[in-house]
Structure 1
Amino acid sequence: MSGRNYIGIIVFAFIILALSYINYFTVLAPNYGDILLKLIQASSIIMIAYLLNSFFENIIGKQVQDTKNRYTLRKVVSVVITLLAVGAIMIVFLKETTTLIVAYGILSAGVVITLQDVFRNFAGGIIILFSRTFQAGDRIQVGDCYGDVLDINYFHTTLMEIREWVDGDQYTGRILTMPNSFVLDSTVKNYTRDFSFIWDEVTIILSPESDWRKSRDIALQTTNSLIKDYVEHSKKELASMERKYMFTSYDVDTKIFLFIESDRIEMHLRYVVDTKQRRYVNDLLNQGLLDAFATEPGIVIGSISSIEITKMP
């Protein structure tokens, strides 16, 4: 049982006892018996909700081993129990009379207008949790905000920020808190949902006299030896995606595309990599390419202008 659930159960148990004492053993009962009884019932509903939430949290904690699935399932169960508790409390306090229903409708409309941002955030939180637009641990982009999802609450989502002044999709150290209403009117770009890989590119510039065929072979060999595990796993994930989406392409093999300019040959090396390992793999790949090209006298990296400047006395 979490500390929050434990405290909630103790507090509402005390409230129920106090209200029961007032209702049955004090002079206030004749005048306020009806409202006291409703308060006791509402407090009992809330205490039962805490008990149910604690019960299901313990079961999920023992039965679900995956951290991401355990977190998401706990959130969903918590939302469902909360909604059921709110509905039960509304039934306790509302009577089936036209006057009360109309009054409640007018009051509800006023509350919704006044607190529309709060309700939008809550609606966004429900959509996120049930539609699985993203989950804790996913890497997402919303507008100019990039980061890994740390927590999804009823009203806001918390991210560990990446990019900004830091290159290569690495953490800045800042925590972003975004209202959940963004999911209603913004595009959410998910880098890891269903497919946890991305394609990255390295541009290699060669002098026109360089042996581009040998350069291409070296680049392909160096890259494939480094990312072979990523290729195999990405193919499996793409095959799984075919069962969910209209998706039939499985071409994740390393490719090189040539582009010829008057003073250089450009090789654009395209390869697949784990989303959260992009900078690390890019660094290893560049080191490997530099080491491999350094032993080949027929391969010169750089444009003609840079080579001529290097050769000037």
Structure 2
Amino acid sequence: MTETFGLSPALQERLLTSIAVILVFWAARRIVLFAALRKVTDPKLRYRWQKATTYVTVPLAILVLGRIWFEGFQSLATFLGLLSAGLAIALKDLLVNLAGWGFILWRRPFEVGDRVQIGPHAGNVIDLRIFQFTLLEIGNWVDADQSTGRIIHIPNGKVFTEPLANFTKGFQFIWNEIPVLVTFESNWEKAKNILLEIARKHGAHLTAEAEAKLREVSSRFMIFYTTLTPTVYTSVADSGVLLTIRYLCDPRQRRGTTQAIWEDILRAFAECDDIDFAYPTQRFYNNVLEGKPEARARPAEIAGEPRTGR
């Protein structure tokens, strides 16, 4: 080998030793994974085992290889000191991402499987690596937090510079609202009672579970809700009376519950002759004929004469 490649015996020894070290660590990782995953079927647990063995074997292999190739230094600490100084200058962004990875592992603002939003990007966390984490995107051009099918890779350092929202960690429920607009002529009180019954049908079963989760998370965060039961709020819009359903739901089931509630609303309102949906329209209003008796304009007033009291 010395004559063919021009390598000294010492360099040949280091190369062969390095190859042997890499093979040993690779084989050790494979054996550990085979033994650990033989009876594990949970995808999340299998993923954690794979990541844990990688995080252990790769740094150890780097340290051993560094010891082999830099044994001329007085100590391994000298080698690590020079290496860290060079990395700090040349690889600042990578170090920030590495620090972000450590922060994610230490503080756990999210885990694999959580639904999060960081900056403008939202999705389910499907992978976490040393320098980046990966989201299966939701939202964007797709309504109601459904998956777009795109995969987004986000540098870990973004956890220090971008707002991070976790849909599933802590309280684990979100509030969803469905606005329903009925005409001013409709029996809005009857419509409100119908909507309240429908909201309770689809959201009341989560109230007890949500209260238990709230008590659990209130020990760590100052979260306070006076009521967790579904409700309907009343307001007035330009085109009619606005009835807004507000209820708790699982973040991943928002679109499904919205669809189920709307289908029940359509069926219920179809059976009511005194309830109509409102939508933007234009009509002419004759105050003389349609106004309240005491508030109607008189023909004399229309002609410009002042109104006289009785």
C-alpha change, 1:204 and 1:261, in structure 2 (3 Å) is same
Q: 1:257 aligns with which of 233, 236, 249?
A: 233
- 1:113 deviates by 1.7
Query: Is residue 125 of structure 2 the alignment partner of residue 149 of structure 1?
Result: yes
- 1:254 deviates by 0.3
1:72-221 equivalences under 5 Å are 72-95=48-71, 105-106=81-82, 108-221=84-197
Query: Is residue 251 of structure 2 the alignment partner of residue 275 of structure 1?
Result: yes
- 1:94 deviates by 4.5
Structure label with greater radius of gyration: 2
1:285-296 equivalences under 5 Å are 285-296=261-272
RMSD of the alignment, in Å?
Answer: 3.4
Q: Deviations over 1:122-173 (max 9, x none)?
A: 3333433444332222222111112222222222222222222221111222
Aligned letter for 1:257?
A: Y
Number of aligned residues: 282
Return the structure number with greater helix share: 1
- In structure 1, list runs of 5 or more residues that go unmatched: 1-21
**Does the aligned pair in 2 maintain the 1:235–1:250 contact within 8 Å?**
no
- 1:96 deviates by 8.9
CA distance in 2 between counterparts of 1:77 and 1:89 reads 18
C-alpha change, 1:258 and 1:94, in structure 2 (3 Å) is same
Aligned letter for 2:270?
A: A
CA distance in 1 between counterparts of 2:122 and 2:257 reads 20
TM-score (norm. length: structure 1): 0.74
**Does the aligned pair in 2 maintain the 1:76–1:130 contact within 8 Å?**
no
- In structure 2, list runs of 5 or more residues that go unmatched: 285-310
Q: 1:306 aligns with which of 268, 278, 281?
A: 281
Q: Deviations over 1:21-68 (max 9, x none)?
A: x89xxxx99x644x5555555444433332332233234424544322
Q: Deviations over 1:87-106 (max 9, x none)?
A: 34334445596698667634
**Does the aligned pair in 1 maintain the 2:132–2:155 contact within 8 Å?**
yes
Q: Deviations over 1:54-87 (max 9, x none)?
A: 2332344245443223323431332133223333
Among the aligned pairs, what percent are the same residue? Answer: 28
C-alpha change, 1:164 and 1:277, in structure 2 (3 Å) is same
Aligned match of 1:12: none
What SS does the corresponding residue of 1:76 show, helix, strand or coil?
Answer: helix
